[in-house]
Amino acid sequence: MSIRLDQTVPFGRSLREYESMFSLSAADRRSRILDCAAGPSSFNAELTAAGGDVWSIDPLYQFGGAEIQRQFFSTLDHVIEQVRATPQNWVWSYHRDPEDLRRNRIAVMERFVADYSGRTGTGRYVCGALPNLPFEADRFDLALSSHFLFLYSDHFDTAFHLAAVRALLRVAREVRIFPLIALRAERSQHLIPVCERLERDGYRVSIEAVGYELQRGGNEMLRIQWM
């Protein structure tokens, strides 16, 4: 999947954010993890440094670290100004305010670029996109997808979401997706149809509250497990 870098907003999240977004336990952190649509998150770098086994996949990885970082800084101030202009849409708990969000996103980008561009990052960052994952079946214990599925519900239909989740379930025994709201800050219209079909297919599906909320109402994740 080819993308235009100048049309992306490359924001990433930290290990601590992932722990809250996905309710990650100590056992989860020791498992084989796929971070799908990972973007410039520092989750891989941080957990790998702590002894974890993480692979990240994203079409963004067709570009070099310096290119990704330049695009990040070219969009950062505009995004923060949009946040400041819509105070009703945000919850300041993990991040204290828009300026703290800005600082945290810069720290995440710097950690990501250092790992992604360094020798130790070779092989852990794979260029690719859902639903075509270049991994063998059952390669991972846990697949995570942050701020892509369901968030862009007006861009991708129910069939795409179902195909994407099935692709994740092919390579991992458990899938967790966060958040479950679309960009308009309402629950995705694809969520219930996807859940109902997966349940008919025999998967255990649950919608769970988590300890992270930045977009107002965005404090739930979807957990899907093999029966």
Write down the pLDDT at residue 95: 97
Q: What is the dihedral of CA 211, 49, 167, 138, to 10 degrees?
A: -110
Write down the pLDDT at residue 8: 77
Write down the pLDDT at residue 227: 79
Displacement of CA 134 from its chain's centroid (Å): 18
Write down the pLDDT at residue 6: 63
CA separation for the pair 168, 133 (Å, rounded): 8
- 0.75 cut: is pTM over it? yes
Write down the pLDDT at residue 3: 66
Mean pLDDT of successive 10-residue stretches along the chain, which has 227 residues: 70 97 98 97 97 96 95 95 95 97 98 88 89 97 97 95 98 98 93 98 98 96 94
Largest pairwise CA distance in the chain = 45
Beta bridge pairs of residue 56: 35, 125
Displacement of CA 62 from its chain's centroid (Å): 18
| Angle, alpha carbons 153-157-162 (nearest 5°) | 105
Domain count, the chain: 1
Through-space distance between the first and last CA atoms of the chain, rounded to whole angstroms = 32
Domain containing residue 195: 5-225
Write down the pLDDT at residue 185: 87
CATH number for the domain that contains residue 102: 3.40.50.150
